[in-house]
């Protein structure tokens, strides 16, 4: 028998068909693999986007919670000068309670002019240590002690404080040499101070009347130790620093800011402080540094912290 052999043309057709089937299968495999890679890439991208969104959500809620706490509960402040020595030192960091006196425009970030006065107002007591906005420049924060309440008369005569015509009792407890920055000139000087315990009288409601320590260089310092008699108007308070001879406070106003023998005077007068300007009451220290370590000197940080002052109350 004669076997039939496929012609060359038929063989070429079969080879071409096989190659096409192989190419088709390879393309399908490549497409499947490519689709898998695309799916994986999409999943990774989705995960990254989800991670970014979660991070943004976390940051948003953290910032929102911080703003709420700062606005309605506690706000941190630092002590930049020695006007509240000996109780508060330069480098102290403290929390101020915002709810103690209620809320005004100065309770909120950027002080928006949303309303006037205070809401949920509490009553300040004589002797409270208060952070307030400077009446002559509301962008500036000051910290002083409440000395005069609305309706009080306040005067300093020969270095002694008088409230409503009565001399405030004080008791000498020692003396100390202080290296400090003058609030009037900005210079650093070394001075001998007398340390007293001052006993403030109670307010009309029988509150206040606390004891606190004060510094006095002498009882005859120019400007600060002999003042006019002040009558505190309604809705205002008379504030003084505990470092009596190195404090620009309510003793100095637009009508009384004398220039001392060496040209020193308060660059920013205070006068009576409106209740609306109160930010909050100083409560306790959460950190304190003596300033011996710069921010980048990490190895010095443990030695610059005043550990004994951490978490102490403001009195």
Which CATH number fits the domain that encloses residue 219?
2.10.109.10
Q: Is 9 within a domain?
A: no
Active site residue: 81, 104, 107, 144, which one? 144
Q: Is 47 within a domain?
A: no
Decide which of 228 and 221 is more confident.
228
Structure confidence by residue, pLDDT tens digits, 48-96? 888 888 888 888 888 888 888 888 889 999 999 899 999 999 999 999 9
Q: Is 217 within a domain?
A: yes
pTM of this prediction?
0.80
- Write down the H helix ranges in the chain: 8-72, 301-304
Q: Is 119 within a domain?
A: no
Is residue 83 flagged as an active site residue? Answer: yes
Q: What is the mean pLDDT of residues 153-164?
A: 96
Calculate the dihedral angle through the C-alpha atoms of 315, 162, 248, 100, rounding to the nearest 10 degrees.
Answer: 40
Summary count for the chain: helices (H), strands (E): 2, 14
Q: Is 48 within a domain?
A: no
Specify the range with the lowest mean pLDDT, choosing from 104-108, 165-169, 181-185.
Answer: 181-185
**Structural domains counted in the chain:** 1
Q: Is 210 within a domain?
A: yes
Q: Is 135 within a domain?
A: yes
Identify the three-state secondary structure at position 156.
strand
Q: Is 302 within a domain?
A: yes
Q: Which range marks the domain in which residue 104 is found?
A: 73-110+124-309
Does residue 205 have a pLDDT over 80?
no
Tokens coding 286: 């959460």
């Amino acid at each position: 028998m004669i076997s039939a052999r496929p012609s060359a043309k038929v063989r070429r057709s079969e080879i071409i068909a096989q190659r096409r089937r192989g190419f088709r299968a390879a393309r399908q495999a490549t497409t499947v693999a490519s689709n898998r890679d695309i799916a994986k890439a999409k999943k990774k991208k989705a995960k990254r986007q989800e991670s970014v969104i979660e991070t943004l959500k976390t940051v948003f809620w953290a910032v929102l919670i911080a703003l709420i706490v700062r606005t309605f509960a506690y706000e941190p402040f630092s002590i930049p000068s020695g006007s509240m020595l000996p109780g508060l030192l330069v480098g102290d960091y403290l929390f101020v309670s915002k709810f103690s006196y209620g809320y005004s425009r100065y309770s909120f970030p950027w002080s928006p002019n949303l309303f006037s006065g205070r809401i949920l107002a509490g009553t300040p007591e004589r002797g409270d240590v208060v952070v307030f906005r400077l009446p002559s420049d509301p962008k500036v924060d000051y910290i002083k002690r409440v000395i005069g309440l609305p309706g009080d008369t306040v005067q300093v005569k020969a270095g002694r404080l008088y409230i409503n015509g009565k001399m405030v009792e004080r008791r000498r407890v020692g003396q100390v040499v202080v290296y400090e920055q003058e609030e009037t000139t900005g210079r650093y000087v070394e001075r001998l101070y007398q340390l007293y315990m001052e006993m403030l009288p109670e307010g009309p409601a029988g509150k206040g009347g606390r004891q606190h320590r004060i510094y006095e260089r002498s009882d005859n310092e120019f400007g600060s130790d002999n003042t006019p008699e002040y009558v505190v108007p309604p809705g205002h308070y008379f504030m003084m620093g505990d470092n009596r001879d190195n404090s620009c406070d309510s003793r100095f106003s637009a009508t009384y800011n004398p220039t001392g023998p060496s040209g020193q005077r308060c660059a920013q007068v205070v006068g009576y402080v409106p209740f609306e300007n109160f930010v909050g009451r100083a409560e306790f220290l959460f950190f304190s540094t003596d300033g011996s370590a710069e921010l980048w000197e990490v190895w010095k940080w443990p030695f610059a912290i005043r550990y004994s002052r951490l978490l102490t109350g403001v009195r």
